[in-house]
């Protein structure tokens, strides 16, 4: 498999300073965060803290030199940087990183809040023209907003015009947050904007964490039905999170990938790790890769090369040519 291996979902986090559903999130060291304004932090878990990284991440950050060492450790050539509203806005930082190390950090997605209306549309011009970021990462459940609300039409139209890629995390359980898994609303956006390129993160999540979802995974099939739109791609990231009670090599994860391949084909499937947030799931960084590379034996060498790097390079080439 001569094709380069690309981690298409890597988080380089210089500071943990974001929010979740309007509640500030602060890094408090040793891979942990607290929710709420400092001085009145919300108590939810033990000592009011939640682990988002292993304890070795003493500053609750993932600086580029550490990420680069992890890439070398796993035999991965390069990474695409994702953002998250929970981590904070690091647009300029990541743009500078891509400019300074383009062979290692080959692209980055921006954080833009569409709820800012006309200002958000202006932001799209700025991140495209001034920063050179390839698109926008959105997490509607944590913002929150309805994807197909007509108020956001100018935002989608501008992304479509610029050729910006929409990387979208649909979230987890709609019973906990009604803005999760807006699959029909996303379909409406794609219908209205056929030239908008969409990368659906984590296979849409699609209730895959729920043991009641069994092959061929009915909720996943709703997500994969968007394959009919040629500009929709699917990210197979964070697979161990969908395997409660399992250990490496995560048989359920292998089956999920197999169903995705059988339903969509390999041409629009893209592997990523979701580093560092995946590491507390009792999985190593190498195992995030190897669950696909070593255990998805239904993939030919050519198909494996596409999923582990070739497809994301093709997606980025399409973006550059738009």
For residue 114, give its domain range.
6-14+61-321
> Is 178 inside a domain boundary?
yes
Backbone phi and psi for residue 194, each to the nearest 5 degrees, phi listed first: -65, -15
What radius of gyration do the chain's Cα atoms show? 18
Residues linked to residue 275 through DSSP beta bridges, in sequence order:
10
Residues with Cβ < 8 Å from 313, sequence gap 6 or more? 4, 6
Q: What is the pLDDT of residue 29?
A: 93
Q: Are residues 44 and 180 in the same domain?
A: no
Whether residue 271 contacts residue 8, with contact meaning beta carbons closer than 8 Å, is answered with: yes
Considering the domain architecture, whether residues 79 and 39 belong to the same structural domain is answered as no
- What is the pTM assigned to this prediction? 0.95
Q: Is residue 1 part of a domain?
A: no
DSSP one-letter code for 88: -
Number of structural domains the chain divides into: 2
- 115 and 187 together in one domain: yes
239 lies in the same domain as 92: yes
| Residue 283 contacts residue 247 (beta carbons within 8 Å) | no
Cα–Cα nearest to 235, from 9, 75, 1: 9
Strand 32-35, strand 50-51: pairing: antiparallel
Asked if residue 315 belongs to a domain, the reply is yes
Is 24 found in the same domain as 134? no
pLDDT of residue 2: 53
The answer as to whether 48 is a domain residue is yes
Same domain, 133 and 24: no
What the block records as the tokens of 1 is 């498999």
91/171 same-domain check: yes
Sorted by sequence, the CB contacts under 8 Å of residue 37 that are 6+ apart come out as: 24
243 assigned to some structural domain: yes
Give the CA distances from residue 123 to residues 104, 162, 198, 278, 293, in Å, rounded to whole numbers and listed in that order. Answer: 26, 12, 19, 30, 38
DSSP 3-state assignment of 199?
A: strand
39 lies in some domain: yes
- Secondary structure E strands in 111-196: 135-138, 165-168
**Does 79 reside within a domain?**
yes
- 133 & 270 share domain: yes
User: Do residue 147 and residue 32 come from a single domain?
Assistant: no
Q: What is the DSSP string of 3-37?
A: SPPEEEEE--BS----EETTEEEEEEETTEEEESS
41 domain residue, yes or no: yes
Taking only the tens of pLDDT, the chain with its 322 residues reads 458 999 999 999 999 999 988 888 989 899 999 887 665 444 444 456 888 999 999 999 999 999 999 999 999 999 999 999 999 999 999 999 999 999 999 999 999 999 999 999 999 999 999 999 999 999 999 999 999 999 999 999 999 999 999 999 999 998 889 999 999 999 999 999 999 999 999 999 999 999 999 999 999 999 999 999 999 999 999 999 999 999 999 999 999 999 999 999 999 999 999 999 999 988 999 999 999 999 999 999 999 999 999 999 999 999 887 6
Which residue is it, tokens 């997606």?
315
Residue 199 belongs to domain with CATH number: 3.20.20.140
Are 283 and 248 in contact by the 8 Å Cβ rule? The answer is: yes
**Contact between 65 and 270 (Cβ < 8 Å):** no
Residues 201, 234 contacting (CB under 8 angstroms): no
| 163 plus 261 within the same structural domain | yes
Q: Is 35 in the same domain as 96?
A: no
Tell me, yes or no, whether 48 and 82 share the same domain. Answer: no
């Amino acid at each position: 498999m001569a094709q380069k291996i690309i981690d298409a979902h890597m988080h380089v986090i210089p500071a943990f300073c974001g929010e979740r559903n309007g509640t500030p999130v602060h890094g408090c060291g040793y891979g942990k965060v607290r929710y709420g304004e400092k001085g009145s932090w919300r108590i939810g878990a033990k000592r009011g803290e939640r682990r988002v990284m292993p304890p070795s991440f003493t500053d609750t950050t993932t600086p580029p030199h550490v990420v680069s060492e992890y890439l070398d450790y796993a035999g991965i050539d390069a990474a695409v940087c994702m953002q998250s509203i929970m981590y904070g806005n690091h647009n300029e930082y990541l743009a500078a990183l891509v400019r300074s190390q383009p062979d290692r950090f080959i692209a980055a997605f921006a954080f833009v809040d569409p709820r800012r209306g006309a200002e958000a549309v202006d932001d799209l011009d700025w991140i495209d023209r001034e920063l050179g970021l390839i698109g926008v990462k959105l997490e509607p459940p944590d913002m929150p907003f309805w994807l197909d609300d007509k108020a956001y039409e100018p935002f989608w139209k501008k992304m479509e015009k610029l050729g910006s890629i929409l990387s979208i995390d649909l979230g987890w359980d709609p019973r906990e947050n009604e803005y999760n898994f807006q699959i029909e609303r996303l379909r409406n956006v794609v219908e209205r904007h056929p030239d908008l390129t969409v990368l659906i993160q984590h296979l849409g999540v699609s209730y895959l964490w729920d043991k009641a979802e069994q092959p061929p995974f009915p909720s996943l099939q709703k997500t994969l039905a968007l394959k009919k739109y040629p500009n929709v791609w699917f990210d197979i990231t964070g697979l161990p999170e969908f395997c409660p009670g399992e250990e490496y090599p995560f048989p359920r994860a292998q089956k999920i990938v197999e169903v995705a391949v059988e339903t969509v084909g390999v041409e629009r499937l893209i592997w990523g790790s979701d580093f560092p947030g995946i590491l507390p799931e009792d999985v190593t960084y190498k195992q995030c890769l190897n669950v696909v590379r070593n255990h998805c034996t239904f993939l030919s060498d050519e198909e494996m090369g596409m999923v582990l790097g070739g497809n994301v390079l093709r997606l980025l080439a399409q973006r550059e040519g738009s």
